[in-house]
């Protein structure tokens, strides 16, 4: 879709992306964050049309691709946009793809801060090598550094 101009950029995020870095957690779908090619109200229609032409079908807010529910989420704030722009390339079963960096996944979890996000932040801190300088710059740029400090004091005394 990116090569054909349907979207400008994309990266795998959410629960599936965390599997790249930490122990598995329960997740229902594959989240694809994307930067649209143009700003308009109906930015999902081109994606749905493209994928339906490719033989995939819509199921509520998802597109079923090879039996996997995939949710396309337009970037909705500067942190998500920056995360997509700085995604890393990876291969899954020989297919080149892009995935959000661990530092951005941690920052996004800190920003959304649901109970499962708090658990993910702890797992990131315990189970993967985080580039602390890189993370610090992200947290400062997106005004999350104090929230991270408070989180560490309250939930992660290490």
pLDDT digits (tens, 9 = 90+) for 102-156: 999 999 999 999 998 999 999 999 999 999 999 999 999 999 999 999 999 998 8
pLDDT, greater one: 49 or 84: 84
Q: What is the pLDDT of residue 36?
A: 92
Radius of gyration of the chain (CA): 16
Q: What is the pLDDT of residue 131?
A: 96
Q: What is the pLDDT of residues 75-86, one digit of tens each?
A: 999 999 999 999
User: Measured on CA atoms in the order 46, 11, 55, 68, is the torsion positive or negative?
Assistant: negative
Structure tokens at 59: 């199921």
Nearest to 138, CA basis, from 89, 91, 82: 82
């Amino acid at each position: 879709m990116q090569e054909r101009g349907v979207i400008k950029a994309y990266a795998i995020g959410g629960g599936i992306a965390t599997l790249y870095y930490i122990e598995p957690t329960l997740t229902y779908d594959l989240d694809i964050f994307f930067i649209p090619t143009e700003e308009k109200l109906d930015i999902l229609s081109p994606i749905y049309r493209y994928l339906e032409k490719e033989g995939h079908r819509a199921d509520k807010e998802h597109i079923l691709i090879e039996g996997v529910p995939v949710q396309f989420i337009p970037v909705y704030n500067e942190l998500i946009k920056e995360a997509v722009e700085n995604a890393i390339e990876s291969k899954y079963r020989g297919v080149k793809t892009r995935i959000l960096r661990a530092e951005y996944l941690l920052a996004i979890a800190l920003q959304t801060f649901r109970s499962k996000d708090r658990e993910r932040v702890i797992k990131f801190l315990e189970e993967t090598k985080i580039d602390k300088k890189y993370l610090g710059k992200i947290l400062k740029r997106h005004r999350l550094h104090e929230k991270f400090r408070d989180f560490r004091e309250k939930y992660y005394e290490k």
